[in-house]
Structure 1
C-alpha cells in the first residue's frame, strides 16, 4: 500500500491488512461488524483531509511524525475547528496507523501535551439538541396526520401510514430514550411483550458495540392511549402489516411500507418535519431531542439520576448530568426574579 493512501479494503474488511492471510468468510463478517459504517466513512473523510494537509506541507502522513500531528492539530485549532472534530480526526489517524501495524502516533508525549493544551484552551460545552418533551411533545404528536386523502377519484381516504409511523417513532424514541441509530436498527425480533407493556432487547448500541449482552429498554403502557408508546407502536405495525424485519420503515407515495429500514439521517428529518407540523421552529431539534427530552423531563418530574440511567443506559452519571444542567440553571435562580 502506498504511504498516505487510505486502504480500499476498509469499505468491506477494515482489518484485512493486519494479516497477509486472507480472511475467511466468517472472519470477514465479524470484521465488518467491528466498526459502524458511519464511523468508517468518517475515518475515510478525516484521513483524506489529513493527507491533503500533509501534501501541502511536504510531510509524510504514514507513518506520521509527532511534529506532523501537533502541527496539524494546531492549524485546526487556529482555524476554529471544534474539539469534537479534532478528537475524531485523531481517532482516524490512530485507526489507519494500527491498520498498517504502525505505532500509534497519537499516544506520543508531544501529541498528548499539545492535545491537552488545545482542549483546555478551546474546549467548550458540546452543542446539544434541544430536548423535545411535554408540552411541546404533545403538540407534535397531535399534529401527526391520521388520514391520507387522494386526488384521484374513487380512492377512499385511508389511515396515513407515515403519520402513524412518525407518532410511534416519536413516542418510542422519547419513552425509550433511544438514539437515532437504535431506532433505525430496531427489528420486530427485538420486541417482547410484558404484562406492563413491551421490552426492547437491543443487541448493539453506542455503549455496547460488541453486543456482549442485549441492553433492555422498557416501554410501559401509558394511561392516555394518545400518548402511549405501546399503543402507537402496535397501531403502526398493524396498519403497515409489519410482522418481521425493520420496525421503522419508509412509506411510499402509495401509502405502503417500503420494507426498508429508515437510516439514522432520515430520522433527523422526520423529527424536524414533525416539529414543523406543530408550528414549532425546527432549528434546535433533531432525533437526539427525543433522548434528551426523556432525560430532562424525567429529571424535572423527580426521577433520580440512577433511575434515568437505567432506561437511558448511560454508564457515566457525569455524562447524564450534562443533559439536565441547563434546565437546572434556571431553577430557583434569583436572576429570574429581578423584574427587569
Structure 2
C-alpha cells in the first residue's frame, strides 16, 4: 500500500505562507488572511513560532507534519511547567490550523496526542464534574465553522441560508456573552428581549440563583464591532431568517430548513454545542453548554 501522507515540508518563519509549487497571488493571500480574524491569526503565528522554537531546542526536525510524540512531549512539558489548559488548547489549535493550511493531516487527532491531552485536562484543568471553558481563539473557530448555506441534493432546488447554522451561532454567542446555563438558554423568549442603547437587554425570569423568579435578572448583550462576533447581530439574523416574532427564541430546525414552533430542549442544547465544537475540528470531550 502507498502512503497518503504528503512529503515533509520545511517550516518557515511565517506559518501562514502556503508552501506550494505555485506562490499565492496577492488576492489569494488576502483571502487567506480573511479566513480568520486578525487577532486569531496573530495568535496562531505566535503559538506556532513558540512550538517550532521548542522543537528546535529539543532537536526535532523543522519539518511538517509534526510527529505525534513531538506534540505529546511538548504538551506534557508545558503542563508540568504550569502552563494553563487554555494556553495548551490554543497551541493545539495553532498546530492544527497550520497543518491544515499546508495540506497535511491533523497530527492533533493522533491517538497518542488525544490520550495525553485528555490526561492533562483532567489533571490540570477544571474539576472532574465541571465543563471546560470554550474560549477564544477556539470559540472563534467554532463560530466560523457554523454553516451559512444549506445545499440540497434535490436537482434544481436553489441553495438557502442555513437556519441551523444561524441558530447555533446565536446559541453559542448568547450563551458565551451572557454566561447562561442551558436551561436558561432554552427558556429565552422574544418577550425577554428589550432594546438597549448598547445592544439588547435580556431578562432571565428564573435561574439557579433566582429560583423563585421574584425579581428578574437583567443581562446586557452588547453590540460588538465585529458583526461575526456580535450576539445582537446573531439574534437579529436568526430571527429574520426564521421569521420569529413571538415565542421561544432558540428552536429546533426541521429537515425542511424551517424552524419548529417549540423551544429547544435543554439536553439538546448540550448536543448542539458539542456538535459545533466537533465541526470546528476540536475534541469536544469535556465541553458542554453549561
1:261-311, CA deviations, whole angstroms, 9 ceiling, x for partnerless residues?
A: 0011000000000000000001011001xxxxxxxxxxxxxxxxxxxxxxx
What residue is the counterpart of 1:259 in the other structure? Answer: 261
Give the Å deviation of 1:190.
Answer: 0.3
Matched, 1:177 2:172: no
Alpha-carbon distance in 1 for matches of 2:210, 2:130: 22
Alpha-carbon distance in 1 for matches of 2:200, 2:158: 34
SS, match of residue 257 in structure 1: coil
Structure 1 spans left out of the alignment, 5+ residues: 1-123, 289-340
SS, match of residue 274 in structure 2: helix
Give the Å deviation of 1:126.
Answer: 5.2
1:58-94, CA deviations, whole angstroms, 9 ceiling, x for partnerless residues?
A: xxxxxxxxxxxxxxxxxxxxxxxxxxxxxxxxxxxxx
1:110-169, CA deviations, whole angstroms, 9 ceiling, x for partnerless residues?
A: xxxxxxxxxxxxxx9552101001000000000000000101112100000000000010
Q: Tell me which of 168, 186, 189 is aligned to 2:188.
A: 186
Matched, 1:228 2:230: yes
Alpha-carbon distance in 1 for matches of 2:128, 2:281: 27
SS, match of residue 217 in structure 1: strand
Alpha-carbon distance in 2 for matches of 1:284, 1:126: 9
Alpha-carbon distance in 1 for matches of 2:217, 2:194: 13
What residue is the counterpart of 2:170 in the other structure? Answer: 168
Alpha-carbon distance in 2 for matches of 1:255, 1:242: 14
Q: Tell me which of 150, 153, 156 is aligned to 1:154.
A: 156
Q: Within 5 A, what are the aligned runs for 1:48-67?
A: none
What residue is the counterpart of 1:284 in the other structure? Answer: 286
The number of residues matched between the two structures is 165
What residue is the counterpart of 1:140 in the other structure? Answer: 142
Normalising by structure 1, report the TM-score.
0.48
For residues 125 and 285 of structure 1, do their structure 2 counterparts lie closer, same or farther at Cα, with a shift above 3 Å needed? closer
Alpha-carbon distance in 2 for matches of 1:201, 1:128: 26
Structure 2 spans left out of the alignment, 5+ residues: 1-125
Q: Which runs of 4+ in 1 moved over 4 A?
A: none
Normalising by structure 2, report the TM-score.
0.56
Greater percentage in helix: 1
SS, match of residue 282 in structure 2: coil
What residue is the counterpart of 1:274 in the other structure? Answer: 276
What residue is the counterpart of 2:220 in the other structure? Answer: 218
Give the Å deviation of 1:188.
Answer: 0.3
For residues 125 and 273 of structure 1, do their structure 2 counterparts lie closer, same or farther at Cα, with a shift above 3 Å needed? closer
Alpha-carbon distance in 2 for matches of 1:193, 1:154: 41
SS, match of residue 287 in structure 1: coil
SS, match of residue 275 in structure 1: helix
What residue is the counterpart of 2:22 in the other structure? Answer: none
Q: Tell me which of 244, 247, 272 is aligned to 1:245.
A: 247
* Aligned-pair Cα RMSD in Å: 1.2
SS, match of residue 250 in structure 1: coil
Alpha-carbon distance in 1 for matches of 2:156, 2:208: 49
Alpha-carbon distance in 1 for matches of 2:135, 2:262: 28
Q: Within 5 A, what are the aligned runs for 1:84-123?
A: none
